[in-house]
Structure 1
Amino acid sequence: MYNRIDLVAGQNCPLPTSALHVTVMTGRKISGPDLDVSVFLLNAQNKVSRDDDFVFYNQPVRADQGVELEPEHNRLTLHLDRTQPEVTKIALTITITDGQTKGQSFAEIQQVTVLVKDFLTGFEIAGFALDTSKNQETALILAEFYRHQDKWKLRAVGQGFIGGLQPLAEFYGVDVGEGESSPAPAPVPTTEPAPPPKLNLSKITLEKRGQSISLEKNRDGLGEILVNLNWNATPVKSAGLFGRKAEGIDLDLACLWEFQDGARGAVQALGGHFGNLRQFPFIELDQDDRSGRSVGGETLRINGSQWQEFSRVLLFAFIYEGVPNWSHVDAVITIKCKNQPDIEVRLDSHRNDQFMCAIAMLENENGQLRITKLIDYFSGHQQMDQAYGWGLNYVAGSK
């Protein structure tokens, strides 16, 4: 546990861990403002090395640098140990979109607070409350995470900046082209309007336990949520001519579900509880692949049109037959949603003395889908249930 350090502008403190959750909170809400938190990964010249080093609402993930922004929650996840050596500083900023045009400023918001927590434990490490009641600017440089003698430190800045997000990005060396401050160009006839710039990631891998991501809302909702499990059924190489043939592994995909009204249950091949996609509980297991050789593996289908009724879904896998050899089974789940990048979670951090693995938690967070990597191993259903507080009763079952 840490003793939280409360900073004032200009102060700094060491960071005891490289994995952080950073939340930006504002004071009084003003009518109609759009507040945007952004991050700049800076080199020794205090500039971005490439445009990808600008993390904002249209480009919220820089996975190779351990940076993930959740724009809708003004929340940031940092894994500072993943940053490349040329990144010497990470600047945290907040802006009011078209604030100058609308006559808005941070003076009306009165206060902005930065709270830094340990990524794994949630313990508060540091906080910085900035009084903005006299700030007439529409952009603020809130804080900086910077390298110091092979360690990382946090500096509270609290510096106002004239202009909005575009001038701030240009200040840090981003080539933004035309943006919010530019006049609208004359209409030009085209056969198809150009789409707005947006990061196009085909796959995001949650690499560490506890890492989370929230999928964006879109007009069509979540659609059908597909959770696919694939694995190698015979991962152990032959022991030679006189060796015993390796046993196959029957790995099962399953889930525990909980609704907003408190209803709880499970969908799994064990006991024949395959569920129903169109009716309660709106989750269905498509098949029981006992061989592990099916190209499609096993897939759980969740009816995204009913997601508002869900509270959480715990995805897990268990070895029904075969030796619990997780380290060689090479299992992975892939979560697919309409118009979203695929989310991949590998079953790593192996425990070869356990038969069950809690893989990921899906949570309803204000109607959005939040996915958190768990990779927690258990000896059976009851032990896993107790760990995550489901409260179900289990009896021996078979397929």
Structure 2
Amino acid sequence: MTISLSKGQRIDLTKTNPGLTKVVVGLGWDINKYNSGADYDLDASAFLIQADGRVQGIEGFLYYNNAKLYNGAVEHTGDNRTGAGDGDDEQIIIDFTKIPEHIQRIGIAVTIHEAELRKQNFGHVSNAFVRVVDAATDREVLRYDLGEEFSLETAVVICELYRHGSEWKFQAIGSGFNGGLAALCKNYGLDAQ
């Protein structure tokens, strides 16, 4: 049975799901009937965060052009440039057994590619969600639907997975940013230049 979360809620992942070592983080969204004159290209990314709250460098930043980190500990399955169709639009696979000890949190975010140039924002996006699926059994463990609370933001931190001792937990974040990917990178102490 899938557990549905609300913004701010936390849940044990590995403790309440014994044997859960590898997950698929599926992200999906729809575009409202708004036409900005250009296609909407939303991109999922992950920030591998150390104890100091910062990302070490490009080796800690996962996106479609840097799609595999730490020998497959975290892997982006590919860039969906239109978001068309049902189900997950993009996926990130996380193998908890391969995450280096110095990584304490994994921030999962979605940005709108060239949002400022294309005059696009998350006010045009609906039905955004994240779900965590057990990679071994294909069972959906949890789901967080973002709702329609965003307007001018061009990037959103959807959730974070974090260590708690030897276990992993999930927190529904739903925090929007103006400034797209550069703002997210700055939030995690990563230079986007």
TM class by smaller structure: 0.7 to 0.9
d(CA) in 1 for partners of 2:25, 2:96: 12
Q: 1:161 to 1:134 in 2, by over 3 A?
A: closer
Alignment of 1:76-225 (within 5 A): 76-177=92-193
d(CA) in 1 for partners of 2:162, 2:100: 13
d(CA) in 2 for partners of 1:96, 1:35: 4
Residue 133 of structure 1 deviates from its aligned partner by 4.8
d(CA) in 1 for partners of 2:103, 2:70: 14
Residue 64 of structure 1 deviates from its aligned partner by 2.7
Deviations 1:101-152 (A, max 9, x none): 3221111112310011000110010000001354320000000000012100
Whether the 8 Å CA contact 1:108–1:133 is kept in 2: the answer is no
SS in 1 for 2:143: strand
Task: Name the structure 2 match of 1:66.
Answer: 73
d(CA) in 2 for partners of 1:19, 1:56: 19
- Equivalent residue letter for 2:56: S
Q: Which structure is larger by alpha-carbon Rg, 1 or 2?
A: 1
Task: Name the structure 2 match of 1:4.
Answer: 2
Deviations 1:316-352 (A, max 9, x none): xxxxxxxxxxxxxxxxxxxxxxxxxxxxxxxxxxxxx
TM-score (norm: length of structure 1)? 0.42
Residue 42 of structure 1 deviates from its aligned partner by 0.0
Taking only aligned residues, the RMSD between alpha carbons, in angstroms, comes to 1.6
Residue 22 of structure 1 deviates from its aligned partner by 1.0
d(CA) in 1 for partners of 2:115, 2:91: 21
- Equivalent residue letter for 1:26: W
Whether the 8 Å CA contact 2:70–2:99 is kept in 1: the answer is no
- Equivalent residue letter for 2:30: G
Residue 161 of structure 1 deviates from its aligned partner by 0.9
Residue 99 of structure 1 deviates from its aligned partner by 1.1
d(CA) in 2 for partners of 1:55, 1:173: 15
Task: Name the structure 1 match of 2:86.
Answer: none
d(CA) in 1 for partners of 2:178, 2:147: 17
- Equivalent residue letter for 2:136: L
- Equivalent residue letter for 2:22: A
Tell me which of the two structures has the higher relative contact order, counting C-alpha pairs closer than 8 angstroms and 6 or more residues apart.
2
SS in 2 for 1:117: strand
TM-score (norm: length of structure 2)? 0.85
d(CA) in 2 for partners of 1:164, 1:176: 11
Which of the residues 12, 15, 35 maps onto 1:14?
12
Residue 28 of structure 1 deviates from its aligned partner by 2.9
SS in 2 for 1:27: strand
d(CA) in 2 for partners of 1:159, 1:134: 9
Deviations 1:246-292 (A, max 9, x none): xxxxxxxxxxxxxxxxxxxxxxxxxxxxxxxxxxxxxxxxxxxxxxx
- Equivalent residue letter for 1:128: Y
Residue 65 of structure 1 deviates from its aligned partner by 5.7
Whether the 8 Å CA contact 2:150–2:176 is kept in 1: the answer is no
Whether the 8 Å CA contact 1:112–1:130 is kept in 2: the answer is yes
- Equivalent residue letter for 2:44: V
d(CA) in 2 for partners of 1:89, 1:14: 14
Task: Name the structure 2 match of 1:25.
Answer: 28
d(CA) in 2 for partners of 1:169, 1:111: 25
Task: Name the structure 2 match of 1:274.
Answer: none
- Equivalent residue letter for 1:49: Q
Task: Name the structure 2 match of 1:348.
Answer: none
Deviations 1:191-214 (A, max 9, x none): xxxxxxxxxxxxxxxxxxxxxxxx
